[in-house]
Chains A and B, each alone.
Chain A
């Protein structure tokens, strides 16, 4: 069974009388351990897809199964628990809390899963080591460069050992060299066995990942090799 199974997902927004199909009948499987990029122009529905995959949003139509659980049956508290333990998010604008230092920021997901303080610190330090930031634990986010902040954010996404990590334009706010370093970090994490979904509008970045899914106007683009949609195993 796939880690994530999306079946005929649509997301429709109504703005006044206008109907916006942000996602239109998307069917998609993601296996554990995959490194996937979701690519498409701005406004094509990548972020919407990622939010639905990440249990932040629910589809208008269709079903999602995450790690064997059908999400439309889950309560809001269960969804929060999924986000906390099974999913890690990395954002374009890092979203570190400016009042907390790096270590405290990384501890935050564990605070919501009631991990005891000592273990929290230990695991946060380990996650910092993983992203090569263990010498910056006591810094405030604003004392760090963009690349360093994104590394800290990745450490935060990893600290609860999630089943899958979603990164929405993680290099979008970084210069190209720093962006490459972050991509290298994702590649390394992928080699360590993490499941990673990278959302980007940049084909060069998407080229890094073994599997690419192209989205256009809310649909999976037919131009793409169907094998890449993960549906045809042959």
Chain B
């Protein structure tokens, strides 16, 4: 018996019970569309993570942070020196796997102001010129301060666009872009001259949205508050943070903001953090060991520091993605199983309705196998139609999900996910059809023909 005829019988059978078949398909439709939608969301998260990782400066970046003296060295706590500029020089000379080092003194809870406008960046950082390379900044206007600015402790700063937007006005609001080179701003009461400004950082998606909006006629500015990526929405935070950067020379920071006290006329020399890049990501462990040895030496063998790698960060995100994938997969799997049970149920009902038909088919020459295949094909046809409908539906579902909770990580429906989901739906059809098909194939034609 021809397979096409069998499939067309399946279609006719489904068409004859449209509503019932549709209800049966719902489980598969939901299963397939949630599978595709979930994987699209996860894919979006992965894309966002990759972009954010680049914005942050890559995996080979390691941050040395001050930490409490460990318990076994508690008695040495008052001799702990903390991270100082000495560490930087020591690492430069003694740790060959360390490529680039940037010290940083951070100033939190600062207020930056200009002509009655205020801005609270997350942090103002005193650092070296190498911070640009370290954090993958791009100075679009003006220049980064140099070693001379640093050694003379000049009151200069380089800012990001978020700072500019807050103090001078955003291009969106005033209609043209202000490049405030040479202007002066007030950082915690001290005047600084802006000598450079970074480019505007944003996710690929935010950039696309902005471009799109630019090309649209004025007045249709729906969602513009978010589209520039200035907001604090979850995916854009990394970019906002980067745009809110304010860099001043390390020495300027030390002299102007680390004031000497009466008992100690040298300002606190401790660095907030120290960031280095390693030459080869594959030798991360060796490099960390090397840096650890050097720092233990400069810290008098007191371990009052810790390494934070981007790997920790990316591991967290990877774990979150894995969780999302797992829970999405479980939801989809449950819907598919429920859908499969529905199909099995309807196939049992369908063969009970058609016992006489099956008996007759056998009497006129249908083999056990062809009856088996016929029922199995019907089951697979239901599942496959459900699967295709689910694929179509997944576009809608993704739209709905993004409408419900906007994210900067645009969900991305992948071909592989669609293929996998579709294959699953067909597989569910096969499995769900097996038992009913077996039952139908085994019917005794005489009893089946006598059946009322």
Contacts and interface: CB of A to CB of B under 8 A. Distances in A.
A84 B364 contact: yes
Interface string A95-108: 10101000000001
B12 interface: yes
Contact of A112 (B12, B366, B446): B366
A83 B360 contact: no
A163 interface: no
B5 A83 contact: no
B19 to A, nearest CB: 16
Most chain B CB within 10 A, of A51, A76, A85, A95, is at A95
Interface string B1-18: 110010000001100100
A115 B359 CA distance: 21
A112 B370 contact: yes
Interface string B348-384: 0000000011011111111111100000000000000
A219 B5 CA distance: 44
Main secondary structure of the interface of B (DSSP, over half): helix
A173 to B, nearest CB: 14
A223 interface: no
Contacts of B361: 108, 112
A224 interface: no
A56 B363 contact: yes
A51 B357 contact: no
A111 B2 contact: yes
A76 B445 CA distance: 12
Contacts of B449: 91, 95
Contacts of A56: 362-363, 445-446
A54 B366 CA distance: 14
A112 B368 contact: no
A76 B2 contact: no
A160 B366 CA distance: 14
B16 A111 contact: no
Given A51-B446, A97-B357, A109 B364 contact: yes
Contacts of B364: 83-84, 89, 108-109, 112, 156
A137 interface: no
B1 A83 contact: no
Contacts of A1: none
A57 interface: yes
A99 B12 contact: yes
Given A95-B360, A111-B5, A112-B1, A80 B367 contact: yes
Given A95-B449, A99-B16, A114 B365 contact: no
A113 interface: yes
A80 B360 contact: no
B365 A81 contact: yes
Contacts of A76: 367-368
Nearest to B360: A95
Given A112-B1, A114-B1, A114-B2, A80 B16 contact: no
Contacts of A77: 367-369
A89 B363 CA distance: 7
Interface in A24-61: 51, 54, 56-57
Contacts of B446: 51, 56-57
Contact of B365 (A95, A97, A113): A113
Interface in B387-433: none
B360 A97 contact: yes
A148 to B, nearest CB: 18
A91 B5 CA distance: 25
Contacts of B362: 56, 80, 83
Contacts of A84: 364-365
Nearest to A51: B446
Nearest to B5: A111
B375 to A, nearest CB: 15
Interface string B423-452: 000000000000000000000011001000
Contacts of B357: 97
A51 B366 CA distance: 16
Interface in B1-55: 1-2, 5, 12-13, 16
Contact of B356 (A95, A108, A114): A95
B418 to A, nearest CB: 34
Nearest to A54: B363
B2 to A, nearest CB: 6
B365 A85 contact: yes
Given A109-B365, A112-B370, 14 more contacts: A56-B445, A77-B369, A80-B362, A81-B367, A83-B363, A89-B364, A97-B360, A108-B361, A111-B2, A111-B5, A112-B1, A113-B365, A114-B2, A160-B365
Nearest 10 CB-CB pairings of A with B? A84-B365, A112-B365, A80-B367, A109-B364, A95-B360, A83-B365, A77-B367, A89-B363, A112-B366, A56-B445
30 contacts: A51-B446, A54-B363, A56-B362, A56-B446, A76-B367, A76-B368, A77-B367, A77-B369, A80-B366, A80-B368, A81-B365, A83-B363, A83-B364, A83-B365, A84-B365, A89-B363, A89-B364, A95-B359, A95-B363, A95-B449, A97-B357, A99-B16, A111-B1, A111-B2, A111-B5, A112-B367, A112-B370, A114-B1, A156-B364, A160-B365
